[in-house]
């Protein structure tokens, strides 16, 4: 137990760096998708640079952070097995599972873009980018509030956050369509 705070600190550090990668990777996807529509030689110059940036972010920061975050989380659960009996932890692990699915789908999109296979629009990627925001809010509130978490307010709050994010994306799209340089 004397190492608990060190393990918890390392877990939190890798949570932060994993989320940083997951927040930034869709932004690079958006830029890559938009660069793909540009004329030569701008298209080739931009996509080459974006592939390199994306590859470095994905393999040097995001993947290692995900693995280390999970490793330290498992270690914490081994130290605190009672957490697995608590409802908030079950829900948190459910959100972590969704985050892992999101990560794997992002990896698939990464591989497609590395091969110049553009299957999604930049607008889809803007919405995709908000999935991590919703998961982050849910997990932080669950961990901080634990059993005092009011389920009704939590569900309403997450739905409201999702609606506000979608409205923000639509507003940004309107502004961008009126002023393409925005």
User: What are the C-alpha distances in Å from 123 to residues 18, 48, 52, 177?
Assistant: 23, 22, 22, 12
Angle of helix 4-36 versus helix 42-56 axis, rounded to 10: 170
Burial class (CB in 10 A: 0-12, 13-18, 19+), 106: buried
| 92 marked as part of a ligand binding site | yes
| 90 marked as part of a ligand binding site | no
C-alpha 35 chain-centroid distance = 22
CA atoms within 13 Å, Cβ hemisphere of 142:
20
- Residue numbering of the annotated binding site: 11, 92
Binding residue ranges for heme = 11, 92
């Amino acid at each position: 137990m004397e190492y608990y705070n060190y393990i918890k600190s390392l877990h939190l550090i890798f949570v932060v760096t994993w989320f940083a990668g997951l927040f930034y990777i869709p932004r690079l996807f958006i830029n890559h998708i938009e660069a793909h529509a540009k004329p030569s030689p701008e298209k080739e110059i931009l996509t080459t640079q974006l592939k390199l940036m994306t590859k470095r972010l994905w393999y040097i920061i995001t993947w290692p952070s995900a693995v280390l975050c999970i490793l330290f989380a498992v270690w914490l659960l081994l130290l605190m097995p009672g957490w697995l009996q608590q409802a908030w932890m079950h829900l948190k692990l459910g959100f972590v599972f969704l985050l892992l699915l999101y990560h794997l789908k992002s990896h698939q999109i990464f591989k497609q873009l590395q091969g110049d296979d553009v299957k999604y629009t930049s607008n889809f990627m803007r919405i995709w980018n908000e999935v991590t925001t919703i998961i982050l809010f849910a997990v932080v509130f669950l961990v901080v509030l634990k059993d005092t978490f009011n389920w009704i307010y939590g569900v309403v709050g997450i739905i409201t956050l999702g609606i506000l994010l979608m409205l923000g994306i639509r507003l940004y799209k309107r502004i961008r369509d009126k002023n393409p340089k925005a």
